[in-house]
Amino acid sequence: MRDFIGKMDMPLNAIVKSFRQNPEGFEVTEPRNLGSSKYSVIGVTDKDTETNLHPYQNVTYFVINRDTRRAAVIDPGIIGGVGVEKQRGYLAMSKLGIEQALYGVITHCHIDHWIGFKSYPDIPFYATQACIDTLNHGGEAVQFARGTLAPSHSTDLPPRVIEYAKSLKWDHQLTNYKNMLRGHQEDIPMDLLALPGQTRDSSYAVMESDGEKYLFAGDLFLDGGEKGLLIEPHYSQVDKLSVVQDTLIVLNGILGKGQEIPESYGGLYPDIYQTLTTIQNPDLIFLGHNTFDMSENRAAVEELAHGLKDILRHGQIKERHRKYMVCGLD
């Protein structure tokens, strides 16, 4: 693998420092080490406007076993170039000194979370069955032909991204999250879970060590900085109020709050109450566009949950609730 030779003996912090000195258009986070374990998480974002998805560009997370330098790839959204050697996701992986990508996880079917899958040849990607069905049937092709990620969104994608997306054929192994291979669990262990979120085909990943917990949550919410936490119901496969309810259920689970869940969710998410306890009180939440420190910002999650509960109480999104939404509520 290009750039890998000589990096096996380098500490991961030194590799990231070197990467940042010659970023080649990428933005790279500091490694987040899970407790005293041998696992680190690094987020990479393509900031090069000649190759990225413009405002849609998400963070691709690499969960790295520091002993073996193997990694899991969460939401492969980095594209660019033709062929593996020219794929920018592959370039980012090699610059991190990763010897081998073992498997990938797709948190939901929106194409900015899987469009870069060809950077990682010959590995399986785990997802929910609903997500797999969407990917196998090209469910988003029409939206991309229109030039947007969702019909109600107002920002066009670059034409080169549209053409690339239309040319893609899913040629990797798509595997139900319930069937993760034992070898993958032994090398980079994580619990994969099905829960609602921005879309109803969402999956979540949880890693724990020494009392510390990491949660990978896709686009459950966005950290808008001074604007607070926001949700994006205009990207969903269902109506906006359903997304509000879906998101609130998961936020209450994260906060460890008791709740009554409609019976209809039992058919979509078996053992949902038990599953929600698994995501309770994470220290870090790795989101599609940034990492959220739950241990320091719990109050912001409480505020968002309160706002979403108020929406459901009124049965509609009122003007005062728009502060909880990104945009595109038409």
- Asked if residue 237 and residue 149 are part of one domain, the reply reads no
Q: What is the mean pLDDT of residues 308-327?
A: 89
Average pLDDT, the chain: 86
Counting the structural domains of the chain, the total is 2
Same domain? 111 vs 208: no
If asked whether residues 172 and 236 sit together in one domain, one would say no
Are 234 and 309 within one domain?
yes
- Residue 136 gets which letter from DSSP? H
Among 167, 189, 211, the domain boundary falls at: 189
* Calculated CA dihedral for residues 205, 211, 212, 217, nearest 10 degrees: 30
Please state the rounded mean pLDDT for residues 104-133. Answer: 90
Sort 318 into a burial class: Cβ within 10 Å, 0-12 / 13-18 / 19+. exposed
| Span 124-153, average pLDDT | 66
Who's near 13: CB < 8 A, 6+ residues apart?
Answer: 30, 31
| Domain shared by 219 and 310, yes or no | yes
205 with 108, same domain: the answer is: no
Same domain, 180 and 198: no
Residues 165 and 46 in one domain: yes
Q: Are residues 183 and 223 in the same domain?
A: no
Domain ends where: 148, 172, 189? 189
Q: For residue 194, what pLDDT band results from cuts at 50, 70 and 90?
A: very high
Last residue of a domain, one of 189, 217, 234: 189
**37 and 183: one domain?**
yes
Residues 247, 294 within the same domain? yes
Tell me, yes or no, whether 177 and 323 share the same domain.
no
| Domain enclosing residue 108, as ranges | 1-189
- Give, in order, the Cα–Cα distances in Å from 179 to each of 108, 121, 185, 195: 17, 20, 11, 17
Q: How confident is the model over 291-301, as pLDDT tens digits?
A: 999 989 999 99
The pLDDT assigned to 141 comes to 47
Q: Is the pLDDT of residue 288 over 60?
A: yes
pLDDT of 274 reads: 94
Q: Which of 49, 102, 105 is nearest to 79 (CA)?
A: 49
Amino acid 239: pLDDT: 82
Domain containing 25 — which CATH number? Answer: 3.60.15
